[in-house]
Amino acid sequence: MESDDSPKSEKTPSPRYKCSACYKQYKKAEHLVEHLKLALHSAHDPRCGVCRKHCKSLESLREHLAGPKAKEHCMEIFSDQGCDLCLKLFDNPASLSQHREWCLLSAPAPIETMIIPNAESQSFMNLCGENDFNNHPEAIAVDCEMVGGGSDGSLDLCARVCLTDENENVLFNTYVRPQLSITNYRYEITGLEEGHFRNAMPLIEVQDKVLEILYNEESIGRSRLDGGKAKLLVGHDLDCMGMYYPEHLLRDTAKYRPLMKTNRTSHSLTYLTKKYLGYDIQSAVHDPYEDCVAVMRLYKRFQALDHQTEGTVASLDGSFDSWTTEKFENMTAEELYALSKPDYKCWCLDTRQALQP
């Protein structure tokens, strides 16, 4: 009986389908497609400056670059050439040092609250310090401080409001007279006492003033259909004042996808300011002006990013839902990635697109 000296047959490795954004690999093309449907990769993802890997959030990117399980090659380069605030990579130490002088900010000087003695005695022009509404900035930061109402003091009541422009100028800053009795001043956080509210502005007048600023109207009686141009509202919605503002005009640092935790929950403003601006806030009594400045600085920092689509892959017509499985199997990883769209609006688009609902 002749022996079989032929080599044993070797298994041919099955092809792997690699995501061109986050580099995960799959055995089947349809698995890669399902991944892209859920991951919603786009050019607006936070991305490693070394290996170009897309990450879910800036926190995820920070872990990739400097966390306990960081990629060794990326961590080594980032430790020498990367900014630990904005996570950008620079060509040489001199460029990084020059950038850090701009990127590392200091806390703003505190301001005294403007107490309005009588709602009729000061006009909106005087409150804003402006004589030309056409010169108002395109974005407004707002922050509110809350005191407690109700029998146990757990009901949130708006007690202080501050609005600033993009240049950190105060547009409006006042104590607010709540519509219900205050049962807990929350002094340790707010620093507020009964005396602060003796000449406070009634809530309904505060609402009018805030809307005048946001809608750029000389009178709240003017219809918004008359051409009042609404501003972006940064850092806070108006629920605490019992007001509504269009969702597409809100820019909330607590809900902005890249600034959220990897599990899609929110970071505190204190954390975001320390990590991405480089200084501490809210170390004692909360200052609404300080918070306004922080949210506006965060907005401007990430709104200024330029997320250009890389590569030569042309934009494809259609989406995952309009393609068959057979067509997917014949597409490259880059072509599949081109079909992937984010489910949030990146702030960088504010400078390039009209504000649409």
pLDDT of residue 112: 61
**Stretch 57-79: mean pLDDT, rounded?**
94
Global pTM? 0.82
**pLDDT tens-place string over residues 164-175:** 999 999 999 999
CATH architecture assigned to 124-303: 2-Layer Sandwich (3.30)
Q: Is the pLDDT of residue 25 over 90?
A: yes
pLDDT value at residue 325: 61
Q: What is the pLDDT of residue 114?
A: 43
Most confident of 11-25, 105-119, 204-218, 311-325: 204-218
Q: SS3 sequence, the chain? A: CCCCCCCCCCCCCCCCEECCCCCCEECCHHHHHHHHHHHCCCCCCCECCCCCCECCCHHHHHHHHHCCCCCHHHHHHHHHHECCCCCCECCCHHHHHHHHHHHCCCCCCCCCCCCCCCCCCCCHHHHHCCCCHHHCCCEEEEEEEEEEECCCCCEEEEEEEEEECCCCCEEEEEEEECCCCEEECCHHHHCCCHHHHCCCEEHHHHHHHHHHHHHCCCCCCCCHHHCCCCCEEECCCCHHHCCCCCHHHEECCCCCHHHCCCCCCCCCHHHHHHHHCCCCCCCCCCCHHHHHHHHHHHHHHHHCCCCCCCCCCCCCCCCHHHCCHHHHHCCCHHHHHHHCCCCCCCHHHHHCCCCCC
Residue 240's pLDDT band (cuts 50, 70, 90): confident
Q: What is the mean predicted confidence (pLDDT) over 245-261?
A: 93
What ranges do the domains of the chain cover?
17-104+305-351, 124-303
Confidence at residue 148, expressed as pLDDT on a 0 to 100 scale:
92
